[in-house]
Each structure stands twice: as C-alpha cells, then as structure tokens.
C-alpha cells in the first residue's frame, strides 16, 4: 500500500470520533430542551451553559478534523 492510499484511509478512520461527538451534542440539547420544558423560567440560566457545552463538544469534533488534516497534508 503506498503512502497516498494509507493517508486517505487514515483520514477516513479519524472520522470515527464524530460518532461520540454526535451523541454528546444530542445529549446536551435533549437535556436542555427537557429542562426548559420542566421549568420554562430557567431558560435564561441554562441556555448559556448549554451553548458553552455545545461549543466544547464541537471542539472535540474539530480536534478529529485537525488530526485528519495532519494525516492528509503533513
């Protein structure tokens, strides 16, 4: 197997991390919706933390993308 093919396979394998990220983001927003549904007055408080949690989880997805780029181009 030459290096080019191995790079493409490696970059594809790095995308498996996105499964965990998808579950994580779904978790955050499902809990956010459920908690707003239970207590609509808490929306202001939980919304900010929900967005923070979403951005932190998305950062993990971008770490995986970064590794894929490093494998492909460096």
Give me the residues that bind another protein (CB under 8 A), please: 48, 51-52, 54-56, 58-59, 62-63, 65-66
Which residues 6+ apart lie within 8 Å of 15 measured at CB?
64, 68
26 or 48: CB nearest another protein = 48
Q: Are 28 and 52 within 8 A, CB to CB? A: no
Q: Angle at the Cα of 21 (from 17 to 23), degrees rounded to 5?
A: 120
Taking the complex as a whole, the smallest distance from the CB of residue 1 to another protein amounts, in Å, to 26
CB of 71 to another protein, least distance (A): 15
- Smallest gap from Cβ 50 to another protein, in A, equals 11
């Amino acid at each position: 197997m030459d290096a080019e093919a191995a790079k493409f396979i490696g970059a594809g394998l790095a995308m498996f991390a996105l499964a965990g990220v998808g579950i994580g983001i779904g978790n955050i927003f499902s809990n956010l919706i459920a908690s707003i549904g239970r207590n609509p007055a808490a929306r202001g408080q939980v919304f900010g933390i929900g967005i923070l949690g979403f951005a932190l989880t998305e950062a993990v997805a971008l770490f995986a993308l970064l590794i894929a780029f490093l494998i492909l181009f460096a």
